[in-house]
């Protein structure tokens, strides 16, 4: 069965500093990988996703992520964080199937705190 590990439960970053959130996955085939963000009391919003092509993926709000097959990783990065980036971030993997919709398997999330 597929799984997603986000090793950092909490991360604190100063405003303006760079950010990297880690994500490792376990999956038996080529995965579909996603990063979602959840602000307090809100639903999840997609930041970016990867399933083929260029391994460096650009997303919304200045985020990017790099897929590294050899390391089974899909880390999220941002060169300069803003106070509004404080939120919960979830990495997710979509299972392989011959077709049709599939649910996502999520990591436990990383809580990002921004220091002024």
Partner 1 sequence: DAGVIQSPRHEVTEMGQEVTLRCKPISGHNSLFWYRQTMMRGLELLIYFNNNVPIDDSGMPEDRFSAKMPNASFSTLKIQPSEPRDSAVYFCASSLSGTRGETQYFGPGTRLLVL
With CB under 8 A as the contact rule, the residue among 32, 64, 77, 86 that binds partner 1 is 32
Q: Is 42 in the site for partner 1 (CB under 8 A)?
A: yes
Shortest Cβ distance from residue 66 to partner 1 (Å)?
Answer: 18
Measured from the CB atom, is 17 or 56 closer to partner 1?
56
Q: Is 115 in the site for partner 1 (CB under 8 A)?
A: no
* Structure-token pair, residue 17: 């500093």
- The CA radius of gyration of the chain, in Å to the nearest whole number, is 14
Measured from the CB atom, is 19 or 94 closer to partner 1?
94
CA distance 30 to 44: 24
With CB under 8 A as the contact rule, the residue among 12, 45, 55, 71 that binds partner 1 is 45
CA distance 49 to 52: 10
With CB under 8 A as the contact rule, the residue among 25, 35, 36, 74 that binds partner 1 is 36
Q: Is 85 helix (H, G, I), strand (E, B) or coil?
A: helix
* Structure-token pair, residue 105: 């398997």
Measured from the CB atom, is 45 or 55 closer to partner 1?
45
Which residues contact partner 1 by CB under 8 A?
32, 36, 41-46, 49, 51, 90, 92, 94, 96-97, 99-109
């Amino acid at each position: 069965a597929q799984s997603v590990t986000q090793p950092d439960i909490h991360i604190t970053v100063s405003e303006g500093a760079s950010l990297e959130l880690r994500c490792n996955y376990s999956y038996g085939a080529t995965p579909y990988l996603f990063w979602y963000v959840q602000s307090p009391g809100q639903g999840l919003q997609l930041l970016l996703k990867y399933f083929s092509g260029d391994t460096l993926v650009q997303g919304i709000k200045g985020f990017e992520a790099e897929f590294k097959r050899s390391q089974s990783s899909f880390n999220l990065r941002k060169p300069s964080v803003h106070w509004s980036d404080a939120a919960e971030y979830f990495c997710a993997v979509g299972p392989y199937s011959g077709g049709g919709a599939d649910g996502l398997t999520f990591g436990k999330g990383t809580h990002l705190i921004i220091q002024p």
